[in-house]
Amino acid sequence: MDAQGLEPLREGDDARSWREIREDFPVLKQHVHDKPLVYLDSAASSQMPQQVLDALIDYHSNYHSNVHRGVHTLSQRATNAYERARLQAARYINARTEREVIFVRGATEGINLVMQTWGRENIADGDRILISAMEHHANIVPWQMLAERTGAKIDVIPMSDKGELDMSAYRELLGKDVKLVCVAHVSNALGTINPVAEIISLAHEHGAKVMVDGCQAAPHLPIDVQDLDADFYTFSSHKMFGPTGIGIVYGKFSLLEQMPPFQGGGDMIDTVSWEGTTYEDVPQRFEAGTPSIAAAVGMGAAIDYIAGIGRERIVAREHELLALATEKILTLDKIRVFGQAEHKAAVLSFDFEDIHPNDIGMILDTCGVAVRTGQHCAEPVMTRLGIHATARASFALYNNEDDIEAFIDGLLFVRDLFA
């Protein structure tokens, strides 16, 4: 590491074909209802490649031990692997230092950590919080809880029928009483890629901080928190080819060092006595208790896997898949597609006229095709669009043209069955 920050993450060394890369994922070799599995639910949880599974097995088989507290060999190995994963995550988002990366159970806990620490210290009665109309519940509910406790007010940044944020309205909502702006980098329900750099810049002009939910961006897009000038940025491992139960929340060091602990217990303390307790420095101050060590190791392996293929290459491939799937689905009668923003990630939300999305999902499952149905933890989005739910197909680097053909054939079967 030099004085300016971390060494950049090397990307794009893997020159294998997409067909060869698909072979890394054991789960895709199975059949469901006697049909080859077509997995189109990666926005909820992506699958893990063998390289990640091997890293998990290696930890459990060869150096399972607690971190930071042991002087024996296994503890040292576990600690090194755990902290290496932190360094990998920091490089992945181009943080200034790995100390700006806090391990959490996932993005939901990351947002709650920021709410319970920075939020409770800095949001007061009369302050305003701006939240975009397309947020996941995890970036809405904690701030509603804080507003109820403090007397702060929440205002909503509206979105268009196409699923794009109204930036003119956003500019009008900003003011000196706005202390925080909450926005998804990519909408999980619609796939919209939001102009987060512009959103952050405008917020900073008015003295507000910004909390970015990066869950749907982390597996797909290059992320540079320094270039974005993000105050807080969070994402989960299980959406980026890693295990569940682990994620990170990034915060600018100048903010983190002023924030109180999130939870009390072991590993976050400096000294403990009956007269009082002093706390560790950042980031250990926010990581009480035994962490999810194996999951962190798996997340590090997932970051290595993505970087090896190259995020620019992944973006281009997923854009091809989304364009092909969108073109084909729009040829079907009585199909509505929700979320037609100019800039989109690989998410395709839709419904059939007079067919409940749950029925679509269950029938597609009999064809071996896995999609998500419901409100996608984005009920305000559904309300804004005047619908109850959608079916959602989400694509990842392991999908291919055959998956899209099976998906469209499944939708034809749904249509014909209800006709």
Please identify every residue annotated as catalytic: 377
- Other beta carbons within 10 angstroms of residue 32's beta carbon come to 15
Which residues on adjacent β-strands are paired with residue 145? none
The amino acid at 193: I
Cis before 357? omega within 30 = no
Dihedral sign, CA of 309, 313, 314, 318?
negative
The amino acid at 250: Y
Cα(23)–Cα(19) distance, integer angstroms: 7
Residue 46 tokens, joined: 């992506």
